[in-house]
Amino acid sequence: MYRSNTCGELRLSDASKQVTLAGWVQTVRKFGAITFVDLRDRYGITQLLFGEDLNKQLEENPLGREFVLQATGTVQERTNKNPQIPTGDIEIIITSFKVLNKSAVPPFTIQDETDGGDDLRMKYRFLDLRRNAVKKNLELRYSVNRAARNYLHSNGFIDIETPFLIKSTPEGARDFVVPSRMNPGQFYALPQSPQTFKQLLMVSGYDRYYQIVKCFRDEDLRADRQPEFTQIDCEMCFVEQEDILSMFEGMVKSIFKEVKNIDYTETVQRMTWEDAMWQYGNDKPDIRFGMSLLNLKKPSSVYVNKEDQAALVNGADFKVFDEAETVLAIAVPGCSEYSRKQTDELTEWVKRPQIGMKGLVFIKANTDGTYKSSVDKFYSEEKLKAIADAAGAQKGDLVLILAGNEERTRKAISELRLEMGKRLGLRKDNEYKLLWVLDFPLFEYDEEGNRWVARHHPFTSPKPSDIDTMISNNPAISNAAEYLKHPYANIKANAYDMVLNGNEIGGGSIRIYQRELQEKMFEALGMDKEEQQHKFGFLLGAFEYGAPPHGGIAFGFDRLCSILGGSESIRDFIAFPKNNSGRDVMIDAPATIDQKQFDELQIKLDLK
């Protein structure tokens, strides 16, 4: 044993104890004949005091930053206490010490605010991980892991490991594949999720399954995606949507309590996918603030059950609105006194390529009760007031209006809403708002293949009331232009997403458990019988032997941790992340392999 205590545990009550500590040298400060060393380990920092008697030895063994030191001495009360740290009342008068290992000068400072850039820190990730800021993230990750497990355990879930070497069934994302040496010419795939296996476990009667498990997707990495990521993966038997929602909002609340000591007592809000899109332009709205959308104009083919307020803008001869598919507005609180410069800046903001709008219309609901707009020419003050009122604007608010193509405009107003929420401080770091988004469309239309694709995945069941529609109709789309009129376009999924502060943290569905319906689904996705059998024969087979109703959910564990840790980047919560090219720059992987490995695997390169 190299130590009697850690660097985080000694207190005034330990005064006069003989102790041995081991850790890393954080700082060395010489004051005349005496030397102070802050010694650091995972648990904290303790001040060591080297007296004059150790000077000779210190000269022979000079200490430097990040040296590994073992030191023995007596705990004593400090004259100059440090209330910032738990050990700040004491120091250790060192009687003997040993340098266990030296350190080169680190390429960046091991501090919360380091001078190291991202690339350097990733290359020396083992040093970056020493920083308190990073350590806190990984500790938080562990406490989320622990809280989730404890909740699931106490609710009767059991952790069952599913295989990593499975079969490639590309549908949705791309698989990573693994050549099989023992079966030349054949490949395993790494799982994108344990989806089919957890369903089989339900068929096997395991009733409540969970796993905190690595999953793999070979996608071009957008910022903040990782080729390997972790899911809290769960499945339950004999459940309906309501059972899943209550079980898993319970889990997230329990994590809030355990990890952040937050009592999330309020009811978790619920919203249909259609309402989310209609009111927020987004299927994962941040509901920490209002500013919901006024739908001034919508295309006739979508949101057929919703009514727009076209009367407010029509008939004014304002071409921009008249020619637009969609006109959407939000009322931004307290911004009616924005200067020309400020509204110009907002106009530039929506014209950036990432947003892609042609311009921005505004109405100022002035505090004096007057209304001013960038489209005064077309709309009387009375009409402006009517629009502003419809948008929910109060005196002093600024109404922002975007017009254009439905998909882009809805996305743009959502982005603008989030941006204004951020600028106005309405998206508070320490506020957490959960939301269930429900009733997604089961299918999306794939223009290229003129066929349906599963919005969630091919195992998601339709709403019970839509099963007949699905079974009794031919999924083929005869008239591509009118795909929205196909009965499948209106089938709703028995699916749910959990949204936290505008981030999707989990998603799942009640699954199909009848062979006939599953075959119909595969057929809708353009899979013929042979392909169905090749890829999913085992699942279709399993459904013939007493498959129970079941459903589940998977949480993005990395994302959940990053939100709870108050960060935008999941990378900060992964011990050894990969960069945007999928590289681990520390170990320098991926890398070339030996010819012997190619020979054994019976593959060769075919570089273009």
For a copy of itself, which residue of 111, 269, 367, 597 counts as binding (CB under 8 A)?
597
Residues 119-138 that bind a copy of itself (CB under 8 A): 124-127, 129-130, 135, 138
Q: Return the closest-CA partner of residue 507 out of 546, 555, 459.
A: 555
Write each residue from 527 to 546 as x if it is in contact with a copy of itself (CB under 8 A), else as -, in one continuous string. Answer: -------x--xx--xxxxxx
The reply, when asked if residue 559 is annotated as ligand binding, is yes
- Per CB under 8 A, the list member of 239, 329, 413, 554 interacting with a copy of itself is 239
**Interface of this chain with a copy of itself, residues 267 to 286, rule: CB under 8 A:** none
Nearer to a copy of itself, 227 or 356 (CB): 227
List C-alpha distances in Å: 20 to 14, 47, 90, 112: 13, 13, 14, 27
226 is in an annotated binding site: yes
Contact with a copy of itself (CB under 8 A) among 374, 389, 548, 567? 548
Identity of the residue, 179 or 356, whose beta carbon is nearer to a copy of itself in the bound complex: 179
Chain residues 74-113 in contact with a copy of itself, contact rule CB under 8 A: 100-104, 106
Distant-in-sequence contacts of 298-301, Cβ < 8 A, 24+ apart? 298/325, 298/326, 298/406, 299/325, 299/326, 299/406, 301/484
Per residue, the 3-state secondary structure of 117-174, as one string, reads CHHHHHHCHHHHCCCHHHHHHHHHHHHHHHHHHHHHHHCCCEECCCCCCECCCCECEC
Measure the CA–CA gap between 272 and 255, rounded to whole angstroms: 25
- How is 48-61 classified by DSSP, letter by letter? EEE-GGGHHHHHHS
Residues 152-211 that bind a copy of itself (CB under 8 A): 153, 158-168, 170, 174-190, 196-197, 200-201, 203-208
The residues in 503-522 that bind a copy of itself, with binding defined as CB under 8 A, are 513-514
The torsion angle over the Cα atoms of residues 523, 525, 527 and 532, rounded to 10 degrees, is: -80
CA 451 vs CA 4, 440, 459, 526: distances in Å: 68, 18, 17, 7
Show the site string, 467-506: x = touches a copy of itself by CB under 8 A, - = not. Answer: ----------------------------------------
Output the smallest distance, CB 200 to a copy of itself, in A.
4
**Among 51, 62, 142, 342, which residue interacts with a copy of itself (rule: CB under 8 A)?**
142
Tokens 């290992």, residue located: 101
Task: Please give the residues from 316 up to 375 whose contact with a copy of itself meets the rule CB under 8 A.
Answer: none
Query: Which residue among 86, 356, 396, 549 contacts a copy of itself (CB under 8 A)?
Result: 549
Closest CA relative to residue 19, chosen from 103, 87, 114, 120: 87
Q: Is 571 annotated as a binding residue?
A: no
Stretch that binds a copy of itself, among 80-88, 223-231, 355-363, 479-487 (CB under 8 A): 223-231
Which one of 43, 338, 432, 445 is in contact with a copy of itself (CB under 8 A)? Answer: 43
556 is annotated as contributing to ligand binding = yes
Determine the Cα–Cα distance for residues 152 and 147; give it in Å rounded to an integer.
Answer: 9
Whether residue 530 is annotated as binding a ligand: the answer is no
Say whether 171 counts as a known binding-site residue. Answer: yes
Give the nearer residue to a copy of itself in terms of CB position, either 342 or 602: 602
Considering only residues 58 through 77, tell me which ones interact with a copy of itself, judged by CB under 8 A. 66-68, 70
Annotated binding residue 60: no
CB of 527 to a copy of itself, least distance (A): 13
Closest approach of a copy of itself to the CB of residue 67, in Å = 6
The span of 38-46, 249-257, 428-436, 483-491 binding a copy of itself (CB under 8 A) equals 38-46
Site for a copy of itself in 568-587 (CB under 8 A): 574-576, 578, 581-584, 586-587
Pick one of 22, 122, 234, 477: the residue that binds a copy of itself (CB under 8 A). Answer: 22
Closer of 209 and 321 to a copy of itself (Cβ)? 209
| Residues forming beta bridges with residue 483, ordered by sequence position | none
Task: State how far the Cα of 80 lies from the Cα of 77, in Å rounded to an integer.
Answer: 9
A 10 A CB-CB count for 194 gives: 25
Q: Closest separation between CB of residue 473 and a copy of itself, Å?
A: 23
- Applying CB under 8 A, among 37, 294, 437, 547 the residue interacting with a copy of itself is 547
Going from the C-alpha of 257 to that of each of 143, 144, 157, 264, the distances in angstroms are 11, 10, 20, 8
What is the CA 592 to chain-centroid distance, rounded? 32
Q: 259 in helix, strand or coil?
A: helix
- Cβ pair 405, 326 in contact under 8 A: yes
Any residues with CB less than 8 A from the CB of 591 and at least 6 apart, and which?
none
Minimum CB–partner distance for residue 595 and a copy of itself (Å): 11
The DSSP H or E segment spanning 209 is: strand 208-216
Q: Report the 3 state secondary structure along 346-409.
A: HHHHHHCCCCCCCCCEEEEECCCCCEEECCCCCCCHHHHHHHHHHCCCCCCCEEEEEEECHHHH
Residue 308 Cβ, how far from a copy of itself at the closest point, in Å?
39
Evaluate the CA torsion angle 397, 402, 403, 407 in order and state its sign. Answer: negative
Shortest Å distance, C-beta 17 to a copy of itself: 19
Asked whether the bond before 163 is cis by omega within 30 degrees of 0, the reply is no
- β-pairing, 44-50 with 90-101? parallel
125/288 with CB nearer a copy of itself: 125
Nearest residue (CB) to a copy of itself, 43 versus 349? 43
Question: Is 417 labeled as ligand-binding?
Answer: no
Task: Determine which residue in the list 5, 19, 23, 73 makes contact with a copy of itself, applying CB under 8 A.
Answer: 23
Cβ at position 378, least distance to a copy of itself in Å: 51
Q: Does 221 bind a copy of itself (CB under 8 A)?
A: yes
Determine whether the annotation assigns residue 511 to a binding site: yes
Of the two residues 231 and 373, which places its CB atom closer to a copy of itself in the complex? 231
Q: Between residues 98 and 257, which has the closer beta carbon with respect to a copy of itself?
A: 98
Q: Is 348 annotated as a binding residue?
A: no
3 state DSSP class of 96: strand
Q: For residue 469, give Cα distances in angstroms to 33, 490, 551.
A: 87, 9, 21
* CA–CA separation, 384 and 363 (whole Å): 7
Size of the site for a copy of itself (CB under 8 A): 132
Binding residues: 171, 217-219, 226, 456, 504, 511, 556-559
Binding residues for L-aspartate: 171, 217, 456, 511
Binding residues for ATP: 217-219, 226, 504, 556-559
